């Protein structure tokens, strides 16, 4: 191994503008789960789901601030994973580099599968594998042409999600103010608080809601990487990260509050999208198609970000290893893009198209993607540990983008992420993937433990 990082050579071109990062930052905090899974999460926790989102949002903000502070101190870096190697040790860095890259690739495969299903809503006769290949070719092209094109694409993907949520919130407020009646009762802000109970479906379901909501936030750390791709990362990064709490309050809590204003929370079905239900109420007959379009762009946005993030991490990984097979992935295009890293990442994600035509492998694939998602919690914990060590190092920038009360909030965030991981073992649906991710931790952790304690010179 070597201490050399991705900035040892020409770094990827910084082609993103401030408006790109700000919209990507907003879109990055809004997952597909809000549109499709809000009914299920409300079913689990009732109005207390607002508290669950608030708590998780707070700790994700702490984690993002630690990434922001380290990137601010060294804006040459294009991936936060580098800091794990630097401040948590080479062995932890080895585990994080490979685990994060593979986890993000599996996330991309899952999003590509989702994209195919959403497109088949309109074109049911088109094979899923063909849709996946076409979409992957298009988004790979976006990532190979210029960073600015990636930014522009994400800008409009994010805009679609934002407009959909704004439309829901405005519609709900107008309904409440005009005394609109639904088949299940009046639209009223009081619907949220009527028969309020912190654990309406039991304490166990309230706890299970944490793991459901947690994975709606997975991928938020991509924001740090996009900010690092701007001409002025030290100016853009604090703005993008500091606005996260307001976005969570407005887009997540605002949308959920309005949904429960329109429908009494006790009567919201778990298996339907509340967004579809609301837009159908106001006479939009094609509401299902509209929300399908929104979640399609959301999944495509996630896939686009996966290609961007995973390729940067693989490019960095090539510089942090002396393995001969990784050296070609140091190559940069004439437009200063990690071309080989993008192509290889895309090729790995394309395996999803092969899996989709082999029914026997589908269940195994679902298991692997679920297990890999759990690994994000481990990566977040390693980021926080690296941050604690960063504050003790000579690199610590005392007048930088500082975390507030780090000695209190960072250890609390570590405990919280560990708590969420432990809860996975108490839910029958998440238990087996949690066991799988634990096996990964043990097996790959033992491989990482055999690496040099310090990076080789």
CB 3 within 8 A of CB 453: no
| CATH class of the structural domain 15-449 | mainly alpha
Q: What is the DSSP pairing of strand 181-182 with strand 185-186?
A: antiparallel
Q: What are the φ/ψ torsions at residue 456 (nearest 5 degrees)?
A: -70, 140
Quote the DSSP letter at residue 405: S
Domain boundaries, the chain: 15-449
H-run or E-run covering 85: helix 81-88
d(CA 352, CA 355): 5
This prediction has a pTM of 0.86
pLDDT tens string, the chain, 457 residues long: the values are 334 344 444 555 555 666 666 666 666 667 667 777 788 888 888 899 999 999 999 999 999 999 999 999 998 877 788 899 999 999 999 999 899 988 888 888 888 888 888 899 899 999 989 999 999 999 999 888 877 787 788 888 888 888 888 998 999 999 999 988 888 888 898 888 877 777 888 888 888 888 888 877 887 887 766 666 677 788 888 888 888 888 878 888 999 999 999 988 888 887 778 888 888 887 888 888 888 898 888 888 888 888 888 888 888 888 777 778 888 888 877 767 888 999 999 999 998 888 877 776 666 666 776 777 789 999 999 999 999 999 999 999 999 899 999 999 999 999 999 999 999 898 888 888 899 899 999 999 999 999 887 765 4
Could you count the other beta carbons within 10 Å of the beta carbon of residue 359?
Answer: 8
């Amino acid at each position: 191994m070597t201490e050399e990082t991705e900035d040892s050579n020409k770094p990827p071109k910084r082609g993103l503008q401030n408006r790109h990062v700000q919209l990507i930052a907003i879109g990055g905090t809004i997952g597909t789960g809000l549109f499709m899974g809000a009914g299920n999460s409300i079913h689990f926790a009732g109005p207390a789901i607002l508290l669950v989102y608030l708590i998780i949002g707070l700790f994700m903000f702490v984690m993002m601030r630690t990434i922001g502070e380290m990137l601010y101190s060294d804006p040459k870096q294009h991936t936060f994973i580098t800091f794990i190697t630097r401040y948590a040790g080479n062995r932890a860095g080895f585990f994080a580099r490979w685990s994060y890259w593979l986890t993000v690739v599996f996330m991309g495969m899952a999003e590509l599968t989702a994209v195919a299903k959403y497109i088949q809503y309109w074109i049911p006769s088109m094979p899923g594998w063909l849709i996946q290949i076409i979409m992957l070719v298009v988004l790979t092209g976006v990532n190979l042409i210029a960073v600015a094109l990636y930014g522009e694409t994400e800008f409009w993907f994010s805009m679609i999600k934002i407009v959909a949520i704004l439309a829901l919130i405005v519609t709900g407020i107008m309904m409440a103010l005009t005394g609109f009646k639904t088949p299940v009762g009046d639209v009223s802000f009081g619907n949220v608080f009527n028969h309020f109970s912190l654990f309406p479906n039991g304490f166990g379901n309230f706890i299970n809601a944490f793991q459901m909501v947690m994975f709606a936030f997975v991928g938020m750390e991509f924001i740090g990487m996009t900010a690092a791709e701007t001409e002025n990362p030290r100016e853009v990064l604090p703005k993008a990260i500091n606005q996260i709490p307001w976005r969570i309050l407005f887009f997540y809590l605002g949308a959920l509050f309005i949904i429960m204003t329109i429908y009494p929370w006790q009567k919201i079905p778990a298996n339907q999208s509340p967004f579809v239900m609301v837009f159908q109420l106001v006479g939009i007959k094609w509401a299902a198609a509209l929300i399908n379009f929104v979640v399609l762009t959301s999944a495509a946005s996630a896939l686009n970000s996966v290609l961007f993030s995973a390729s940067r991490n693989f490019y960095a990984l090539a510089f942090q290893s002396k393995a001969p097979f990784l050296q070609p992935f140091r190559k940069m295009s004439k437009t200063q893009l990690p071309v080989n890293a993008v192509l290889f990442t895309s090729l790995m994600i394309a395996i999803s198209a092969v899996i989709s035509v082999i029914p026997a492998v589908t269940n195994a694939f679902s298991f692997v993607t679920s297990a890999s998602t759990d690994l994000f919690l481990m990566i977040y914990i390693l980021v926080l540990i690296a941050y604690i060590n960063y504050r003790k190092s000579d690199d610590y920038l005392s007048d930088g983008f500082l975390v507030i009360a780090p000695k209190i909030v960072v250890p609390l965030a570590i405990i919280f992420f560990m708590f969420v991981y432990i809860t996975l073992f108490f839910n029958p649906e998440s238990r087996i993937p949690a066991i799988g991710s634990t096996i990964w931790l043990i097996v790959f952790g033992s491989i990482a433990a055999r690496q040099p304690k310090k990076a080789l010179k």
